[in-house]
Amino acid sequence: MKLGNVFVPVDDLDKAIAFYGLPVKFRDGDRFAALDGGGVTIALAGPAEHVTAGIAPSYKVEDVRQAVRLFEERGAQVVREPESGPHETRAVLRDPSGNVFVLYS
């Protein structure tokens, strides 16, 4: 597992890209843009891709379902079960302190 990006839900992708002013690594219309944060990707998510209500670390894992089971055993709460999207499979969990994080592959 490694930190893959920092997930940031935004209302308007064009405005958010202009606001952050970082180079765009990848963009999928109004759904999503990956910005080069110099060692970490800033993942701007338009309204169609809001899987969390706020900023959340996103961890890239080999197998999302297996990672969800592992984190549940450690005390995590599943907020959104694993689901397949246009570019990845992802799940949203809450750690024992109440912080939300995303797992994806």
- For 23-75, write each residue's pLDDT tens digit: 999 999 999 999 999 999 999 999 999 999 999 999 999 999 999 999 999 99
Tell me the C-alpha distance between 13 and 33, whole Å. 7
Neighbours of 12 (CB within 10 A): 13
The dihedrals phi and psi of 89, each to the nearest 5 degrees, come to -105, 135
Confidence band, pLDDT 50/70/90 cuts, at residue 85: confident
pLDDT of 86 over the 90 cut: no
What are the chain's domains?
Answer: 2-104 (3.10.180.10)
Name the H helices within the chain.
13-20, 64-73
Tell me the C-alpha distance between 52 and 38, whole Å. 24
Q: Please choose, from the candidates 10, 35, 40, 9, the residue with its C-alpha nearest in 3D space to the C-alpha of residue 24.
A: 35
- For 87-100, write each residue's pLDDT tens digit: 899 999 999 999 99
